[in-house]
Structure 1
């Protein structure tokens, strides 16, 4: 019997254990990182804000001129069936559109590639360990690296261009920080590997508009903060302003809201998780179980 305990994949119309999922080594997704993807969390047996993630995935495919030959209903069926077969009740679920391999051997024309869809799921991933997130995380702000400029690679189209992030993670880990934030060339902060950033100062919350993915969790946090009475601004966020904030926190589909207690040698909230960040974190996990945001998965009856 196949072992789905470590996750599952939907590929070429089949659901297989994740260890058995493969794509061609000549696929442009591999050779050129020519791919877009999205990640939707599954929490307690249901997708959270699935339609919002699907809409962004569709927009990304359109921006990259990809057509995988599947409409939204077909993608939903693939994701639903895959997660149901895995049996995972809390999962990290990725949907991927790959450029594919040229139908004309040797062609260098992206229009000649056979675009295709695949998906995979694994047990829920926390970008920051839950116990670390509750206490607050220490972040490194790189002074030697910059985020890939939006004019080169649009960060609003979710992608695998992680050269800058990976270099930043090495820099952060070597300095014993949990993760990294990257600035742009104009002195503004952008984002980190898998998360957006927010700064709270004098009752106002700011988050970068340019140079960063417009995350679904970012959008959820913006809504929650406004519901709590805070003014939220989506705009350029100078590094100097970030470091002068009363509180800093991150948002990610892999763990919700994560308080930041330190950026390099700058401490926030006296080195403890800030009260606003903790309130937003608690509210996020409440929303994960709110029927208004959930799309239930039809798991097989195992009784």
Structure 2
């Protein structure tokens, strides 16, 4: 995972926020000094939700969709920090403006918080709270690797947490399955990992959705996955390019018979996958349709139709 560091200089005497900043309790601060209490349920129980919106060349990409999904996640988990969608957008604008970052990875987070009743185990007694943070743009797949195509290992020692236990549609920090899978993938010499469900069907990887292209048909799994905004964007671009798009069960055997494989993520957009375990795709190079989708994704990220420009003077 790498970051871009394109930024402007901060004013003399002001905190250097170019490596990252956080908004907490109405204050913007360097990310390195931000903190939550040790007994916050978000920390000790992973009772927390978040979302991430990318900033590309000075504008949020599809901001409304990311914020709407964040509020759906909070509703699902019965979290309420007492903020509106407009309030959250204002915080994100101020935060990015304060860093002067033109390409950034911006997180909005709501935690269950600290229980206000001593000894209580009732989540209704917790005081929920919102915070946000921003760092230079993150690439889930390093740009130099994404340029030529990444390798993926299919995890064998772990499956995806079932959605009956942790709803994959709610963005969460339950990464025990992903982390175990990443160790397995790195030990196997792969760049990242892909998890299956208990029936051997493809789900997702750490921070990305996966797609199969076969005979001008674009397929992505429909269960055990985050309904990603980047995933939605790729499906819309695929339709725009004349592909048949399908959201359904995707068995591993079918994925391995793909003409091309790609992943989508807010941290890097679209990246080609040229190898899954020992199976090569597109002769080990990015495929024609993947390359077209990737180019169209960044064209969309630069289009006024999909952008919310940031006022870098908006810091007070």
What is the TM-score with the length of structure 1 in the denominator? 0.98
Deviations 1:123-153 (A, max 9, x none): 0000011121111100001122100001000
- Is 1:257 the counterpart of 2:257? The answer is no
Determine which of 65, 82, 94 is the counterpart of 2:95: 82
Determine which of 25, 31, 35 is the counterpart of 2:38: 25
**Which whole-Å CA distance do the structure 1 matches of 2:18 and 2:101 have between them?**
8
Greater CA deviation, 1-10 or 235-244?
A: 1-10
**Which whole-Å CA distance do the structure 1 matches of 2:276 and 2:199 have between them?**
19
Describe how 1:90-101 pairs up with structure 2 within 5 A: 90-101=103-114
Number of aligned residue pairs? 302
Describe how 1:113-132 pairs up with structure 2 within 5 A: 113-132=126-145
- Offset of 1:301 from its aligned partner? 8.8
Describe how 1:14-93 pairs up with structure 2 within 5 A: 14-93=27-106
Determine which of 246, 249, 253 is the counterpart of 1:233: 246
**Which whole-Å CA distance do the structure 2 matches of 1:259 and 1:103 have between them?**
48
- Offset of 1:22 from its aligned partner? 0.7
- Is 1:136 the counterpart of 2:149? The answer is yes
Which stretches of structure 1, 4 residues or longer, exceed 3 Å deviation after superposition? none
Q: 2:293 maps to what in 1?
A: 280
Residues 260 and 273 of structure 2 are in contact (CA less than 8 Å); yes or no, is this contact kept in structure 1? yes
Describe how 1:186-265 pairs up with structure 2 within 5 A: 186-265=199-278
Q: 2:118 maps to what in 1?
A: 105
**Which whole-Å CA distance do the structure 1 matches of 2:86 and 2:28 have between them?**
17
**Which whole-Å CA distance do the structure 2 matches of 1:24 and 1:122 have between them?**
22
- Offset of 1:97 from its aligned partner? 0.6
SS of equivalent residue, structure 2 residue 159: coil
Q: Which runs of 5+ in 1 are unaligned?
A: none
SS of equivalent residue, structure 2 residue 250: coil
Deviations 1:11-46 (A, max 9, x none): 011111111111101000100000000000001111
Q: Which runs of 5+ in 2 are unaligned?
A: 1-13
- Offset of 1:210 from its aligned partner? 0.4
Q: Calculate the aligned-residue CA RMSD, in Å.
A: 1.0
What is the TM-score with the length of structure 2 in the denominator? 0.94
Distance 1:100 1:19, change over 3 A: same
Deviations 1:191-214 (A, max 9, x none): 000000000111111100100000
